[in-house]
Structure 1
Amino acid sequence: MSQIGIEKGLSLQEAKRRGVFAWPTWECAASIFPWTYDADEECYLLEGRVEVTPEGGEPVSFGAGDYVRFPAGMSCTWRVIEPVRKHYVFR
């Protein structure tokens, strides 16, 4: 299974080129919760800071301005450190 992919500080121009601003948005207050991905997800964080720990793996941190990919089948724990607002799409 592939790992979490992060592009730190993706430019607004590149985010627009990829069409992320047409994707739905999701918001979450500071919290901790388990999650399993049924499909690949791509997201672009508008606000916030997060640490995601894949089951059996090391924590991965990302935040506002980052473009992140999660693989289908991955189980993990989300720790939302600062409230998050993101655009996302499942593929």
Structure 2
Amino acid sequence: MTQIIIDHNPSQEKLKELGVTSWNTWDCPPSKFPLDFTMTEKAYVLEGEFKVTPQGGDTVTIKAGDYVEFPKGLKSQWEVVKQLKKHYKHF
């Protein structure tokens, strides 16, 4: 089972080491949609809140300030609860 990794309180050192401020930015209004990952995605949430339900797994809630990794091959349903803004990078 592919695992979503969430760090609810990443240190500034970790974020700086990862270089998140140089990553692309993605905005999304409240909505629901399926999202399949063809590459691993690492993301840092700047604003908002969203819920991700992996296929065959439990729903996780991700909020502003969270660092998250979505594994390659993950099939999921997203529900953006509050306007979302995040830095992200594909690997």
Using the TM superposition, name which of 54-63 and 13-22 deviates more: 13-22
Shift of 1:16: 1.9
SS in structure 2 of the partner of residue 17 of structure 1: helix
SS in structure 2 of the partner of residue 9 of structure 1: coil
Q: What's the counterpart of residue 79 of structure 2?
A: 79
SS in structure 1 of the partner of residue 50 of structure 2: strand
Q: What's the counterpart of residue 45 of structure 1?
A: 45
Shift of 1:72: 0.6
Work out the number of aligned pairs and report it. 91
Deviation per residue, 1:13-62 (Å, 9 max, x gap): 43122100000000000000001000000000000001000011110111
Q: What's the counterpart of residue 67 of structure 2?
A: 67
Q: Is the 8 A contact 1:29 1:83 kept in 2?
A: yes
**TM-score normalised by the chain length of structure 2:** 0.94
Q: Is the 8 A contact 1:11 1:65 kept in 2?
A: no
Shift of 1:12: 3.3
Distance 1:37 1:76 in 2: 8
Q: Is the 8 A contact 1:52 1:79 kept in 2?
A: yes
User: Which consecutive unaligned segments of at least 5 residues does structure 2 have?
Assistant: none
RMSD: 1.0
Identity %: 43
